[in-house]
Amino acid sequence: MANSRTLVRFALFLALLALILTACGGQTETVGEPEAEAEPAAQEEAAPAATEAPAEEADDMAMEPIKIGALAPLSAPGAVVGGEAMRDAMQIAADELNARGGILGRPVELIIVDTEGLPERGTAVVERLINQDGVVGIGGGYHSSVGVAAKEVARDNGVPIVFAETWNDTITSVQYDEIFRIAPLSSEVSAVDVKFIQWLRDENGMKLDKVVILTENTDYGIPAAENTTALLEEAGIASVTFSVDIGTQDFAGIIERVKAESPDMIVTLATGEASYNFTQQAADAGIGPQDVPTMCNQVSLVSDAFWENVPDGNNCFVRRIGLPVQLYNDVAQALVAEYAERTGKDDIESYAMASYDSIMLIAQAIEDSGSTDPADIIDALENIEHMGALGPITFPINRANTPEQAGVDPKWWHQFPDPAITIVQYQVAGQAAVDTTVVYPSTYQTGDPVIVGQE
């Protein structure tokens, strides 16, 4: 009985062992084979997703805007009327680019920031444009103090700036790869000013023994006054300089000191609303542009604002950058028409034209290089030939043709060499800037100067 039980138990053990071995072998086959077959299937399903992702990224990239920064003084103590003009012109440039289909098939996003005319503010907003907003280039810029500060940020980050209205010579003379300028050099403008003053004396019989210079205490005003003083001295004309802080409103004390000098001419190197304040307060004191020949700041060519703030400003001489209206090219004429439509102004300020060109130059450099890499944009700017509102724009002094190789002063580095500089004069009270008389140089002259206060 025991033996038979043992046999039964042994038989059951063998049967159970067989079942276990079969189950293990079957599990290996059924799990292993489906996994081997599943891998290709999984790859086939994944493949379309892998090929679609780059296409989706390409579409996203094509729609992602190209960001360009823009600098303008839009609040005090900056030259607000100048900043507003620049802002409007730069927005026209961006709108035109987008109407054409953008740049490289991508929309343009123009990011305009307020510099307030202050260097510390300029530094902060340029850092923000580059490191937060991700701009690939920057245009505009009015005050030299802002340009002097902003150029350092551009250099540190390798992002190009095309300055539109910053005149200080050192902005380009430091020869940074990132810095380009289509505004004139301050020293060159001073030379034109003094040649004009000499012309008034030598060709028009004007008494010119002493000139008073009213300048702002900035990176524009100080060197401009120094250059003018030195050149006047070479011409045998004495000068006295009074300096004020940017944004000064009350000039009563300065005006009394100016009167005490009994000047034969006044040259105003204060910018923005401060220049309006000084000119009208001088007129109230009997030494305004209808009493003493006066060179007013170029912001005076915002004629509506000028006559509103300086009702006694007739006979002001005003320095104008850019060709006379009669010589505007097609780009300038189209810009003037659009600018008039948007702003209601009859004419466009030179710095507004330059601001428009600064944005268009960056856009062309991106197109020419086929890249939004700032280094590629810099390369393209060095080789650019651009027909702008200011005329044909190039930067002939660059890394391939250094100032030393070209035999010129370092200030010509990345500098547009041909901005026209003329002197115009208001000769009718309330006159529009577009109708002012070009009195100097003779190449562009449309009429003779009106000289006041001569005995």
DSSP assignment of 123-189: HHHHHHIIIII--SEEEE---HHHHHHHHHHHHHHT--EEESS---THHHHT--TTEEE-SPPHHHH
CATH number of the domain residue 99 falls in: 3.40.50.2300
Please give the single-letter amino acid code of residue 396: P
The pLDDT of residue 35 is 36
Burial class (CB in 10 A: 0-12, 13-18, 19+), 41: exposed
Residues 46/51/55/58 CA torsion (nearest 10 deg):
100
The pLDDT tens digits for 367-378 are 999 999 999 999
The whole-number pLDDT of residue 326 equals 83
Domain annotation covers residue 218: yes
Closest CA to 384 of 398, 372, 373: 398
Tell me the two tokens of residue 360. Answer: 């268009």
Are 217 and 308 contained in the same domain?
Answer: yes
Query: Residue 189's pLDDT is what?
Result: 96
Non-local CB neighbours of 173 within 8 Å, separated by 6+ positions: 409, 410, 411, 413
Residues 6+ apart with CB under 8 A from 196: 317, 423, 440, 441
pLDDT for 57 beyond 70? no
Q: Does residue 10 register a pLDDT over 90?
A: no
317-341 residue pLDDT tens: 999 988 888 889 999 999 999 999 9
Looking at per-residue confidence, does 38 or 416 come out higher?
416
203 shares a domain with 159: no
Q: For residue 95, is it within any domain? A: yes
Tell me whether residue 341 is in a domain: yes
* Whether residue 427 sits in one domain with residue 315: yes
Considering the domain architecture, whether residues 300 and 432 belong to the same structural domain is answered as yes
As a whole-number percent, the residues of the chain with pLDDT over 90 amount to 81
110 shares its domain with 139: yes
Residues 172, 292: one domain? no
- Residue span of the structural domain in which 367 resides: 64-185+328-412
pLDDT of residue 7: 39
Q: Are residues 429 and 289 in the same domain?
A: yes
Q: Give tens-digit pLDDT for 144-156.
A: 999 999 999 999 9
What share of the chain in percent tops pLDDT 70?
86
pLDDT digit string, tens, across residues 364-408: 999 999 999 999 999 999 999 999 999 999 999 999 999 999 999
Residues 372, 362: Cα–Cα separation, whole Å = 10
Answer whether residue 427 is part of any domain: yes
For residue 18, tell me if it sits in a domain.
no
> Per the structure block, which two tokens stand in for 251?
């000039």
pTM of the prediction?
A: 0.84
Residue 339 inside a domain? The answer is: yes
Q: Is the residue at 334 inside a domain?
A: yes
CB neighbours of residue 214 within 10 Å: 29
For residues 114-122, give the mean pLDDT: 97
What is the tally of structural domains in the chain? 2
Do 181 and 191 have their domain in common?
no
Contact 230, 178 (CB under 8 A): no
Distance CA 146, CA 219 (A): 9
Average pLDDT over residues 29-38: 34
User: What is the pLDDT at residue 346?
Assistant: 81
Let me know whether 274 and 256 are in one domain.
yes
pLDDT digits (tens, 9 = 90+) for 143-192: 999 999 999 999 999 999 999 999 999 999 999 999 999 999 999 999 99
195 and 177 co-located in one domain: no
Average pLDDT value for residue range 283-295: 97
